[in-house]
């Protein structure tokens, strides 16, 4: 090759190098052991005994008191002492957490297990972390501030929603009624046991709301400003599974096939939370919890279609893919297909028996400016949204959802 040819080749290579999109780095932190499937509870008991722990602090829910007896009997017959705490019933405050931690310290627990919804699991994870940690709650709030966890923690979800059993997140309500996240690799549990059988007795309204929450985790990861091909796999499959099976799980709580598929989608959603996380739906839903005590999953359901409509203006192709996964027919343009996806989402929410507007959920129109002020403070999630949201945009979204 002569010099001229070499220079042409070199400039092509440089151009290729400059034009290609750089693959972003991603860090995936999942529990060391994830056990999924019917009968996972049994596996948990065997694994726990093998670990050799003797003082188990178990956070659970009263609804499971009877169902857990045989499992707990097996543990006690193996010499495990157990203290059961069923005090976490709603979204936990830091005060709830402190009281629970005191009980775990008094018991001198050598291990912590959470069996319940996201609130119970979040508390279990943080109790395990704070049993031996000298940092105060103020020091560990936010992202990456918690520096250690010495105590083993396993999580066993009884809802298909938060994905807390595989995520590094724990969400609490502070003294002002605001939701505060503690996010740390040390909050990824050591083990997660996802047994769809445990979700069978969930009432329809909770199945619906938690299921839409899980679907939102997946959707907001795929459409996220920080989306990554690694996570897209889980995100799109999670959207597909939940959209396909949630209505069946709502209509017949004993439909174990539907329960298992929704639980799988929910776990995928949890796996999206650590590396990518959520965006505007979650940011705008938090003030509904604060001002109106609307449960987290329902708050998301009330806003999801309207945030989708808002975001489609910035990246219709992302939402076109979501629409395809939801089963929409291809239309003439990406935007038209994407909007079909919104229609399907609204139908799914209605089919699951959830309200579709803020007014139906009891929100007053005059509180919208205050809700928007609250949402705009949740920058840790709004920064992930593909379209910028200023306070007036938040007002417009709440208004379209009203
Ligand atoms: Fe959520």
Per residue in 16-53, pLDDT (tens digit) is: 555 667 888 999 999 999 999 999 999 999 999 999 99
Cβ atoms < 10 Å from Cβ of 79: 9
Distance 374 CA to ligand 1 centre (A): 17
Percent of the chain topping pLDDT 70: 95
Beta strands at 33-36 and 191-194: parallel, antiparallel or unpaired? parallel
- Taking a C-beta distance cutoff of 8 angstroms, is the pair 163, 125 a contact? no
- Burial grade of 23 (CB within 10 A; 0-12, 13-18, 19 or more): exposed
Region 305-311: what's the mean pLDDT? Answer: 98
Give the residue-averaged pLDDT of 186-202.
Answer: 96
The CA distance from 93 to 126, in Å, is 12
Distance (Å, whole) CA 322 – CA 344? 11
Say if residues 392 and 385 touch (Cβ distance below 8 Å): no
Distance 328 CA to ligand 1 centre (A): 25
pLDDT value at position 15?
A: 52
**Mean pLDDT within 211-237:** 97
Predicted pLDDT of residue 327: 96
Query: How many CA atoms does the CB half-sphere of 63 hold within 13 Å?
Result: 14
Rounded distance from Cα 296 to ligand 1 centre (Å):
7
Q: Which residues lie at CB < 5 A from ion ligand 1?
A: 213
State yes or no: pLDDT of 351 exceeds 80.
Answer: yes
- pLDDT higher than threshold 70 for residue 3: no
User: For the residues 383-393, what does the mean pLDDT come to?
Assistant: 97
Averaged pLDDT for residues 278-288? 96
- 285 by Cβ neighbours in 10 Å (0-12 / 13-18 / 19+) ranks as buried
> What is the whole-number distance in angstroms between the Cα of residue 220 and the centre of ligand 1?
10
Is residue 396 classed exposed, middle or buried when 0-12, 13-18 and 19+ CB atoms within 10 A define those classes? middle
Phi (first) and psi of residue 224, to 5 degrees: -75, 150
The residues near 361 (Cβ < 8 Å, ≥ 6 apart) are 288, 292, 294, 298, 302, 355
Q: How far is the CA of 297 from the centre of ligand 1 (A)?
A: 6
CA of 299 relative to ligand 1 center, distance in Å: 9
Calculate the CA 321 to chain-centre distance: 21
Q: How far is the CA of 321 from the centre of ligand 1 (A)?
A: 21
Q: 242: CA distance to ligand 1 center in Å? A: 14
Distance between Cα 203 and ligand 1 center (Å): 19
Where does residue 142 fall: left (phi above 0), alpha (psi -120 to 50 degrees), or beta otherwise? left
Q: Which residues of 374-383 are buried (b: 16+ CB within 10 A; e: fewer)?
A: bbbebeebbe
pTM of the model: 0.92
What span, in angstroms and rounded, lies between the C-alpha atoms of 355 and 299? 10
Separation of CA 133 and ligand 1 centre (Å): 27
Name the token pair of 295.
């449960």
pLDDT recorded at residue 22: 80
Q: Which residues contact 14 (CB under 8 A, 6 or more apart)?
A: none
- Residue 68: CB atoms within 10 A of its CB come to 19
**Separation of alpha carbons 194 and 69, rounded Å:** 18
Confidence of residue 391 (pLDDT cuts 50, 70, 90): very high
* Sheet of strand 33-36, all strands in order from the earlier edge strand to the far edge: 33-36, 191-194, 152-157, 111-116, 55-59, 81-85
207 CA distance to ligand 1 middle (Å):
14
Helix (H) or strand (E) holding 192: strand 191-194
Average pLDDT along the chain? 94
Domains in the chain, CATH or no CATH each:
33-198 (3.40.50.1970), 204-401 (1.20.1090.10)
Of 309, 312, 287, 297, nearest to 363 by C-alpha is: 287
- The sign of the CA dihedral 358, 360, 363, 369 is positive
Query: In the predicted model, what is the mean pLDDT of residues 138-156?
Result: 97
Q: What is the spatial distance between Cα 378 and Cα 287, in angstroms, rounded to a whole number?
A: 9
In this prediction, residue 179 has a pLDDT band, given cuts at 50, 70 and 90, of confident
Ligand 1 center to residue 117 CA distance, Å? 12
Distance 227 CA to ligand 1 centre (A): 17
Which pLDDT belongs to residue 95? 95
Predicted local distance difference test score (pLDDT) of residue 17: 54
Ligand 1 center from residue 202 Cα (angstroms): 18
Tracing tokens 């945009």 back to the chain, one arrives at 393
Query: Which residues make beta-bridge pairs with 58?
Result: 84, 113
How much distance in Å is there from the Cα of 53 to the middle of ligand 1? Answer: 32
Q: What is the pLDDT of residues 81-130, one digit of tens each?
A: 999 999 999 889 999 999 999 999 999 999 999 999 999 999 999 999 99
Could you count the other beta carbons within 10 Å of the beta carbon of residue 279?
A: 28
């Amino acid at each position: 090759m002569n010099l001229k040819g070499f220079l042409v080749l070199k400039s092509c290579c440089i151009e290729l190098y400059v034009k290609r999109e750089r693959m972003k780095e991603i860090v995936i932190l999942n529990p060391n052991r994830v056990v999924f499937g019917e009968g996972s509870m049994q596996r948990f008991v065997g694994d726990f005994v093998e670990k050799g722990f003797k003082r188990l602090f178990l956070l659970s829910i009263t609804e499971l008191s009877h169902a857990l007896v045989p499992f707990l009997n097996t543990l006690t017959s193996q010499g495990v002492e157990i203290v059961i705490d069923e005090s976490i019933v709603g979204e936990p405050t830091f005060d709830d957490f402190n009281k629970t931690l005191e009980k775990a310290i008094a018991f001198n627990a050598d291990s912590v297990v959470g069996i319940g919804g996201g609130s119970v699991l979040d508390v279990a994870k943080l109790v395990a972390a704070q049993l031996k940690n000298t940092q105060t709650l103020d020091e560990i709030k936010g992202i990456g501030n918690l520096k250690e966890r010495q105590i083993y923690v396993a999580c066993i979800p009884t809802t298909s929603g938060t994905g807390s059993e595989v995520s590094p997140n724990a969400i609490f309500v502070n003294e002002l009624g605001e939701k505060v996240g503690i996010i740390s690799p040390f909050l990824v549990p050591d083990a997660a046991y996802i047994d769809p059988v445990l979700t069978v007795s969930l009432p329809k309204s909770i199945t619906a709301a938690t299921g839409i929450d899980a679907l939102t985790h997946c959707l907001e990861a795929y459409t996220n400003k920080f989306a990554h091909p690694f996570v897209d796999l889980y995100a799109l499959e999670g959207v597909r599974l939940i959209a396909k099976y949630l209505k069946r799980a709502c209509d017949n709580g004993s439909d174990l096939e539907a329960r298992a598929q929704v639980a799988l989608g929910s776990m995928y959603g949890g796996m999206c939370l650590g590396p990518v996380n959520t965006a505007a739906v979650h940011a705008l839903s938090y003030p509904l919890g604060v001002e109106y005590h609307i449960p987290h999953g329902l708050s998301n359901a009330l806003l999801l279609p309207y945030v989708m409509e808002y975001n489609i203006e910035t990246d219709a192709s992302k939402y076109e893919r979501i629409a395809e996964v939801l089963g929409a027919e291809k239309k003439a343009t990406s935007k038209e297909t994407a909007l079909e996806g919104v229609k399907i989402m609204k139908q799914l929410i209605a089919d699951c028996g959830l309200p579709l507007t803020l007014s139906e959920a009891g929100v007053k129109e005059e509180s919208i400016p205050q809700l928007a002020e609250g949402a705009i403070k949740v920058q840790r999630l709004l920064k992930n949204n593909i379209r910028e949201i200023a306070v007036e945009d938040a007002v417009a979204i709440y208004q379209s959802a009203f």
